[in-house]
Amino acid sequence: MTGKAELDLVERGNDSLREKVPDPWLDRAYLFSFDLGQLLVKADASAQRGDLELAVEILDRAVAFGEDDWKAHVMRVNVFAKLGRVKDAVSSYQAAIRAGAHEGAALGELSSALLEQGQAMRLLELAEAALERVPDSADLQRLRSLAFREMGNLPRAEASLKRALQLMPESLEIARDLAVLLWERGKRSEAASYFTRLSRQSPLDVQSRTYLAQYYIENGQLEQAESFVTEALEIDSSNARLAELAKGYFIQYSYLEASAGDWVEVERLLELAKGLGPLTLDELKLQARAFRGMGKLEKAIALLRELAANYGDKPEVLMTLAELLEEQGRIEEAVEHYQAAVLRSGQFSAYAALRNAARARLAALSMSNE
């Protein structure tokens, strides 16, 4: 492995020597090493590339003459958890604690494996035993909360998270967990206060902004929601779920503005919605109304003609187009579309009012031409 070609490969490449110059016996040579630090590094590298069985062998070697070194035990917790060997992971956790490992970090390595195996009660037992030794551990309170949550005891999960946040008020992760739990419990206003704090402290926090947008939308405070919607989109423009939420928000807000007659805002909001996906027929009809309300009759007519071509069986489109054409003095075209509206409405009772209105306009236009 000291040939010039191999050395050149290593010097030029960004990858490791193991990847550039494969040497299968080299990995197993570590099983005879007496250097604890070297063993831990190699075990970690083996685990990172997915060779978990080799990582276990190397860590067994490390533990054999480094029984009092907690790092090897904690690493074994992680590897055994990934292998699904929960019993061995628990034993390694207990050995790590005896060797002086950080209680919260060690149990954190074990927690996901226990939850995946449906052993939330076991996690709770271990967390509460650890809290007897370290009562002021925010990490352990958070793990205790995870166990309660998995068991469906949300009030106690909430209490544990609030205690964790008292112990570590600067933790954004704990604050986020608490905010989400409060939201799920229906405590939306309290959750929103935490999400507001998180959005201020984390410029790239999409989750908090999404929840805040939803909070203000649900409360009908659409103006307050807009900044959170747009900020979240700017941060994560490829998020399909977020785009769907944002589009729905812009549409809902546009209808509210339409009820107030603010057609400029309606058009702005519909354009934002259109940037996130195609508009439905009703939304396109609303856009035509906005053009009409803004005095942009030609744009309204062009859009309605397009709708008539694509949705020719919709009498309301034909009726609105006829009304606009009449407003512009294009009587022959208006008559043509009033007649089409009557024809398309057939005998459907839902279109009775429209049908009668179209007939009335046809009669009025006929009289004016006599």
pLDDT at site 314: 85
pLDDT at site 82: 85
Taking only the tens place, the pLDDT of each residue in 80-132 is 888 888 888 888 888 888 888 888 988 988 898 899 889 999 999 999 999 99
Give pTM, 2 decimals: 0.70
The yes-or-no verdict on residue 312 having pLDDT over 70 is: no
From CA 131, how far away is CA 140, in angstroms rounded?
7
Taking only the tens place, the pLDDT of each residue in 239-257 is 898 999 899 999 999 999 9
From CA 98, how far away is CA 223, in angstroms rounded?
56
More confident residue, 195 or 80: 195
From CA 170, how far away is CA 81, in angstroms rounded?
29
Taking only the tens place, the pLDDT of each residue in 250-293 is 999 999 999 999 999 999 999 999 999 999 988 998 999 999 99
Confidence label for 26 from pLDDT (cuts 50, 70 and 90): low
pLDDT at site 216: 94
